[in-house]
Structure 1
């Protein structure tokens, strides 16, 4: 795949500052970093964002995530590797990423399940991180940004 821009930094010079603020807001909320990593990876898988899937998986591995959990994120419903809180965050991620798949984009049952495990502030941070991830996914998809070719 050939990237459409050789320098994605031309999008806007203030974008890194804004992204850093979003990152700090989401990661400073008290949500476990592993939950936010799972949210990022799952949304990126759904959207087919190769650089975000790559960076998300690498970040999870760097932070000590097990191969079982890392390799089974796309099949989280069928595996025993995730807590109930993580499952609720993953369900919320899928619903909020696939907005057009149903009339009620995020059904009350999904929201209520997440609310059993996270405070209102944490829920806000998870939704913010889902939206931020989708933001990156859409930029990378539009620009055909490839995953890095370094191993």
Structure 2
């Protein structure tokens, strides 16, 4: 199945993607470790079945030096020994924040307590934004039938360069 629309090829879509990229760039200013944010994005993308985003975040993690075992075990992080307690809290938060329709409460009090244990208020704001942004990105890519496999490391950052935003 071919992609339905190339957002970069439309005037409004190009502006949308650049501004979306600006939000993503803001995440890099957070004190949450980059690997944690990428693992969160990978996990949400796995849950949402977004091949494009799984491809992108897998490749970005590998390029950043993340060991293959951690990348490969992200889908089964609860059954793994390679993630820190803080990363486990962030991954639980990601799953619960992504699967809102599966639980009327959204993020459970237990998961919230784990997140509070490992992250300060600014970092939690970044975690909330990361879950919201990746879920929005997953939905756009899945709706448009963006397939995984062709992403090249750094391509999204280059395409959404904040200096180029209108």
Answer yes or no: same fold by TM over 0.5. Answer: yes
TM-superposed CA distance for 1:149, in Å, is 4.1
CA deviations on 1:98-117 (whole Å, 9 max, x unpaired) are 00101111111111111100
Number of residue-to-residue matches in the alignment: 150
Query: What are the ranges of 5 or more consecutive residues in structure 2 without an aligned counterpart?
Result: 153-166
Contact 1:27 1:125 in 2 (8 A): no
**How far apart, CA to CA, are the structure 2 residues paired with 1:13 and 1:90?**
31
SS at match of 2:32: coil
The aligned counterpart of 2:7 is 8
Deviation, structure 1 residue 146 = 0.9
Q: Which residue of 2 aligns with 1:22?
A: 23
Query: Within 2, Cα distance between the matches of 1:150 and 1:93?
Result: 23
TM-score (norm 2): 0.85
Separation (CA, whole Å) in 1 of partners of 2:20 and 2:4: 21
Q: How far did residue 127 of structure 1 move? A: 1.1
RMSD in angstroms over aligned alpha carbons? Answer: 1.5
**Range that drifts further, 12-21 or 130-139:** 12-21
1:134 match: 135
Task: Tell me what 2:65 maps to.
Answer: 64
